[in-house]
Every structure is written in structure tokens, then in C-alpha cells.
Amino acid sequence: MSESTEKPLLEVRDLAVSFFTPDGVVSAVQGVSFAIGRGRTLALVGESGSGKTVTAYSILRLIQPPGRITGGRILLRSARAGDIELADLGEEDELLYRVRGGLVSMIFQEPMTALSPVHTVGSQIAEAILLHQKRTVKEARELTIEMLGKVGLPLPSVYYHQYPHELSGGMRQRVVIAMALVCKPELLIADEPTTALDVTIQAQILGLIKTLQRELGCAVLLIAHDFGVVAQMADDVAVMHRGIVVESGDVRSVLKAPQHAYTRSLLDALPSRRRPA
Amino acid sequence: MTGGTEGTDGRPLLSVRGLTKHFPVMSRGFRRSVLATVKAVDAVSFDLAAGETLGLVGESGSGKTTTARCILRAIDPTAGSVMFHLPDGRTVDLVKLTAGELKPIRQHAQMVFQDPVSSLNPRMTVGDIVGEPLVIHRLARGEELAGRVAEVLARVGLQPEHSRRYPHAFSGGQRQRIGIARALIMKPSLIVCDEATSALDVSVQAQVLDLLKELQREFRLTYLFVAHNLDVVRNFCDRVAVMRKGRIVELAPTAQIFSDPQHAYTKILLSAVPSPDPDVRMNFNVGDELAKLDAADQS
């Protein structure tokens, strides 16, 4: 998928995830494969229940029991830490802590899920720096304020001391982006980062992700259900349906000349493509 | 702003004039003095013809939901009038009616809510939820009630046996159908849809919108369609009112709003919509443009 001949940053091969519930085994992801090149953006598109979020969570090994990765491999070719086989890492593996929030970080649909309500936004970002980088408390603080400014918070040194509930949804999402990017990850996973936001705020947040991505050179795995957001953000697309990737390719060919019937049906359901009834 | 809205009998179904809702901002502490007022809805006027669909769009905080709630008197407006044309030929001002006078009129104006989880009582069966309005208004009971519930459930695409189940057993799209059935059973002339399809996946959203269109043709319904998704409004509404800071900044036929927006805010709003065509670039720079507009408001 990458334009150059270098090997992709992330390679997911035949990933399978099942949930072992008392009522039976639910196979949420059944053999998903895709790759993301360095600095590229891949969008995983699908409706609720298609397995896109489970796939993203698997990369960070966030699948909780009764869920379990039952097969496949997730290879991260980190420039800083070498090749890491994420699917094989143990729960307590030191490397996993380096990956989470360091090499790979994540922003969520609802920013409050990622923010602690009882800590100031500044201290939460500084904590991430202290966990992943060898910095003093003072340096972490300065770096945090710099990052808050970068994501567009006015008066970052004032915002440093505010609590998440004092911020609007758009501002909270900016804080989460600051937290995710402050350790300069090689891969950013963005799970529906703008679904809960107004269209004008969405435009600003998407623009911010693009700008910072370019600046840091990180790759983005964008989880989305909105083809508009996908078309504007992604280089490549993988369409998921019932736990498998039904179609993938570069954004233009998939959106303009979809090959699979499911992709076509999704595109036909777009309000902008429908003729008035 | 109100041209071309007459119904077949020459009168609009709903005529809103100068609708205003102010919320006081109280000081902290014991004395609770009023520091300022927030003009959530500020002199909103529009007409709604019978059988028409008017989209009310705007961002969160623009006052679109407050406007809808004031019209149905879910909250009491500060000022203005809402003339509502009843099926018996009378026209009443919903703002002036007492709670007692309002009750019999409520059956003609119903609401469908955004969140199909919180708007359905989890401890009531679907049959009880859908039939409840008829019970409250004492319009049907016993066999007749059960019959009408079954009929309306069938009409929105649900099975008769669904009436014995609880809301949690249904998907988001089915739950929204339950909400529509509950509104429809009153045989209303006006339905206010407050972000009725916002929580749904795109293919489910398309099905629910299709259902609403069919029902509109069949029962000659009039919709006030509150939404933030401009794409949905574009294909669903006859006319669109764009709200910003409690005011309607532009009201025009849908095609005109999208092809030839007049107000600067409408233009910014439309430019921020991500196009599903990768070759049509969206405007990522709306923040600066909105700031300029705000600055122009101040001066």
C-alpha cells in the first residue's frame, strides 16, 4: 500500500478475535489483513458491529476477557524499537508498555473516556511524558504547555490547570490529541475521533490531525463510518463487514469504483448519493 | 422568509412568530442574582405548510432543539407566538394555552427523539410504550388499544409479537421505529423529529428516512426536522432554516441553500462538510473564518 518499496510500518495478517461468552463464542474478527505505510493514513470503514474497533483495540492489545486474539499476527516495524510482534506479547511484557502511548497511541470517539475527571489536563499529559521519556517534571510541564499550544488551545498555561469537565467537547478532543501525540508515536489510532462533534469543530479537529501527522511523520489508522471523513483524510481504505475486510485499496479507487457489493450498498446509502424519495 | 408556505387551504399548519427563550445565568452562592441572560432562541419566525418538511439545522448551542421544544411547549418560551392549525378548523396559539388546554391538542403534535435508548422506558414493553399515548388521552383501551398498537407496529415495519418485548431487545434502528410508532399512533398532523436519525448507521438511517417519507405521503404529515447533518437535510427537507446563536440566519428552499447560500455562516457550514468524493476538498480552515464572523458580529 505504501508508495515506496520500504516495508510497511504495521502489518496485520489473518487477525482473528473471538469473545467467549457464556452463551457461546462470538467471532468478532475473522481473518483480517491490512498494512499501513509510514506516514500514511489507512481508514477502516464499516458499520457498528463490523469489527473495526475490535481490530484497532487488538493492535494495542486492549481486548479484554472474555475476548481473546485467537489467531494471526500484528507486526509493528518500529524505527525506534525494531520489529515487534504485538500479537505474541504477554500482558505484562515491558515492551507492551513502551508500545502503548509511546510507539502507538490512540484517540477515542468520546474524549471523556480517555481523560481522568479528577486530574487537570496538564498533569495528565505530563504523566504520559514522564512514563515514556526521560524527562524531569519541569521539562514535562514545559513540553505539555508547548503541546497544548500546538493543538490550538488558547492560553495553554491556563488550560494546563483546568479539569476536563470545564472544557467543551472540541477542546477536550484537542487535549486528547495533545496527549496522544506528545510522545511522538509512530502510529496514531483514531477511533471515530470526530463522530461526537459538530461539523465545523470536526473540520478543525481533522485539519489538526492532518497537520500534526505531517509534522511528526506518523501513520494514522482511522476508524470511521463516515465516508466523507474517510475521503478527506485517508490514503487507503479497508472496508469491513461482519469481521472481514471485504474490499481494500487506495481511497480513490474504492470510493469511486467500488468492486464489492457491500461497499456499493454503503455508498448508495449516503444521503448525498440518494435521490429524493 | 415565509413565502410559498401556504397549505392547500391557504393557511400554514404552523406559524411561528418572534419565538424567544431566554435563560437566566445565575450567580453562585445563596443570593442567586441574575447576572445575564442567554438568548437561546431569539425572535425566531417561520411558517410550516401542511405536508411540508422544514429542516432546522445548526451547531450544538445554536438553539434548534430549544426552538423545537418551545413550539411543543416542552419548555415555556419567554415571548412570541406559535399559531397551530387544528384538524377541526380552529387555530390556537400554543404559547398562550394553559397546561389543561394544551393536553387535548398535544395529540396533534408529536415528537421523535434522537436517542432511542433514553427515550424509551426500559421497564415497559414495546406494546405499552406505543400504546401509552392512547391510554393517557383515553382514546382507546382493551381490544381496540391492542389492535391499534399492532396496526401501527406493522406500519413501521415491526412484528406484532414485538409488542411483548422490551426495548433492550431491539437494535438502534428498530428502537427508532418504536419511537416513530409511538408518535404515529396519535394520528398527529405535525411531527417534530429532533435528530431522529443522528444515532444510526448510514444504511439504517437511510431506511428510517425512507419510512418517514412513506408515512408523510400516506398520512399527510408535516415534519419539523431538527438535524445537524446537512447531508441528511439535503435529501429529506423541502426547505431549510439555518440557525446560529438563537437566530435563523437563512431560510430558503433546500436546493437554493445548498447551491446558492446567501449568508456567510451558511457558506462556512457547507464548506466544512466532508465530501465523500476525495477530489472535492473540504475546508479545514473554518475555525479562522468563524472567528472572523464572530468579530464582525461584535463590531
The percent of residues above 70 in pLDDT, for chain B, comes to 97
Q: Beta strands B91-93 and B79-85: pairing type?
A: antiparallel
Mark yes or no for CB contact B277/A276 under 8 Å. no
Rounded CA separation B225/B53 (Å): 7
* A199 Cα to chain B: minimum distance (Å): 6
Given this model, what pLDDT does residue A214 score?
Answer: 94
Q: Quote the cell numbers at residue B109.
A: 403534535
Nearest to A46 by CA among B210, B202, B44, B119: B202
- Average pLDDT rounded to a whole number, residues B3-22: 76
Tell me, yes or no, if B287 comes closer than 8 A to chain A by beta carbon: yes
Question: Within its chain, how far is the Cα of A149 from the centroid?
Answer: 22
Is 80 exceeded by the pLDDT of residue B299?
no
Length of chain A: 277
Which residues, at least 6 apart from B171, have a Cβ–Cβ distance to it below 8 Å? Answer: B204
Domains of chain A: 1-103+188-270 (3.40.50.300), 109-184 (no CATH)
* B204 Cα to chain A: minimum distance (Å): 9
Length of chain B: 299
Residue A210 amino acid letter: K
Cβ atoms within 10 A of the Cβ of B116, count?
24
Question: Within its chain, how far is the Cα of A87 from the centroid?
Answer: 17
Q: Quote the cell numbers at residue B59.
A: 451547531
**Containing H/E element for A215?**
helix A199-216
Per-residue pLDDT of chain A (277 residues; tens, 9 = 90+): 444 568 999 999 999 999 999 989 999 999 999 999 999 999 999 888 899 999 999 999 999 999 999 999 999 999 999 999 999 998 888 899 889 988 999 998 888 888 999 999 999 999 999 988 889 999 999 999 999 998 888 889 889 999 998 888 888 989 999 999 998 999 999 998 888 788 888 898 899 999 999 999 999 999 998 899 999 999 999 999 999 999 999 999 999 999 999 999 888 888 777 654 4
Q: Per residue in B204-240, pLDDT tens?
A: 889 999 999 999 999 999 999 999 888 889 989 999 9
pTM of the model: 0.83
Closest partner residue to B274 among A48, A228, A266, by Cβ?
A228
Q: How confident is the model at residue B37 (pLDDT cuts 50, 70, 90)?
A: confident
Closest partner residue to A198 among B59, B205, B235, by Cβ?
B59
* B275 Cα to chain A: minimum distance (Å): 5
Rounded CA separation A144/A42 (Å): 28
Sole residue written with cell 389492535: B147
* Reported ipTM: 0.81
- Do B54 and B46 form a contact (C-beta atoms < 8 A)? yes
Closest partner residue to A228 among B205, B276, B287, by Cβ?
B276
Rounded CA separation A76/B226 (Å): 45
Given this model, what pLDDT does residue A185 score?
Answer: 94
> How many pairs of residues across A and B have Cβ atoms under 8 Å apart?
115
